Amino acid sequence: GMGWALLGVGLFLALYTLLRHGLRRAPPLRPRPALHGRTAIVTGGSGGIGAATALELARCGARVVLATRSALRGEAAARRIRTETGNPEVQFMQLDLSSLQSVRAFASAFLRQEPHLHLLINNAGVSAGGTTEDGFSLPFQVNHLGHFLLTQLLLERLQSCAPSRVVIVASSAHCAGRLRLDALGRPPPGLWPTFQDYCDSKLANVLHARELATRLQGTQVTCYAVHPGFVNTELFRHAPLWLKPFLIPLAWLFFCDTAEGARTSLHCATYEGLECFSGRYFSDCHLQEPWPPAHDDRLALALWEASERLVGLREPPGSPSR
């Protein structure tokens, strides 16, 4: 009995190791680009992929602003990155994407303090449910609407510093997204509303990059949506308890670490010659075709106009013009 059990465990571990290393092929490391004199914002930069992205940008010599909710974690991450890279130009600025007021306050503080912006990495993401102070579902506001407003408020600065880039961290979870334009930002119906909401927000991310690219033609500001890989970060701490025992071995098997997860963001932020792919979707540092709804230009435009209304950048239809 015991021998068979041990053999079974041994075989399982061998298979597991093979799978783990076979499935996770890392893209080749490229020489570091020189980013001295360039300024980058990374949202959600205090942990996970955001911190790994910020660390690498700082290593390349960029001035990096960690735009994140917790001052405690943000300051600690900035300190850690300054120490590790020897680059003193890394700082924390408070940004809570679940508050449109905070997004506006961050943008105006940034524009006052910082003369330049070359890279905007819209990286922050949540998978938790709940409702924001603005009355929208938490994942949809943090993952899409807050970033949409932030990007619009910083666009002039990106244009005046062009060539510049916007990277929007989406996910292959966009494949399950469904955008209900009449109920945008309200929790979706169904069995798994929080998961559905997360997928919807990620479809919105891919469509946002697509429409943004259309509007930015000729400005030398380009944008890219990226799937970071299934990264083993705190994003899953909100999974229901009964699901965690199933997720943990899966996470070990299929998920990559945060440094690997940051690679596609860094590729789209810094790699030469990607300008012709503005608005497209990348995974594993390669161009990929997203799922069909993410190709829909009419949906992209409708999402854009609805998002403008929801964040207060456009008058609702039928309202008196000032």
d(CA 180, CA 203): 12
- pLDDT band at residue 248 under the 50/70/90 scheme: low
In a domain, 3, yes or no: no
| Predicted model pTM | 0.85
In a domain, 171, yes or no: yes
Between 130-139, 177-186, 234-243, 299-308, the lowest mean confidence (pLDDT) is in 234-243
In a domain, 106, yes or no: yes
Active-site annotation holds for 281: no
In the block, tokens 């990607």 appear at 274
| Cβ(56)–Cβ(35) below 8 Å | no
d(CA 260, CA 134): 34
CATH number of the domain residue 113 falls in = 3.40.50.720
In a domain, 81, yes or no: yes
> 23-36: per-residue pLDDT in tens?
555 555 667 889 99
Q: Which of 16, 198, 224, 271 is catalytic?
A: 198
**Distance between start and end Cα atoms, the chain:** 82
* Rounded mean pLDDT, 87-107: 98
Mean pLDDT estimate for the chain: 87
| Cβ(97)–Cβ(150) below 8 Å | yes
Residue predicted with more confidence, 272 or 241: 272
In a domain, 27, yes or no: no
* Rounded mean pLDDT, 72-86: 97
d(CA 263, CA 29): 9
Domain count, the chain: 1
* Rounded mean pLDDT, 45-58: 93
- pLDDT band at residue 234 under the 50/70/90 scheme: very low
> 140-150: per-residue pLDDT in tens?
999 999 999 99
d(CA 248, CA 224): 30
In a domain, 238, yes or no: yes
> 292-311: per-residue pLDDT in tens?
889 999 999 999 999 999 99
In a domain, 149, yes or no: yes
Give the model's pLDDT for residue 230: 60
Range of the domain at 165: 32-311
Q: Is 123 exposed, middle or buried (0-12, 13-18, 19+ CB in 10 A)?
A: buried
Between 138-152, 223-237, 287-301, the lowest mean confidence (pLDDT) is in 223-237
| Cβ(268)–Cβ(226) below 8 Å | yes
In a domain, 5, yes or no: no
DSSP H helices, the chain, are 2-23, 48-59, 71-85, 100-113, 138-140, 146-160, 193-215, 244-254, 258-270, 297-310
Residue predicted with more confidence, 321 or 130: 130
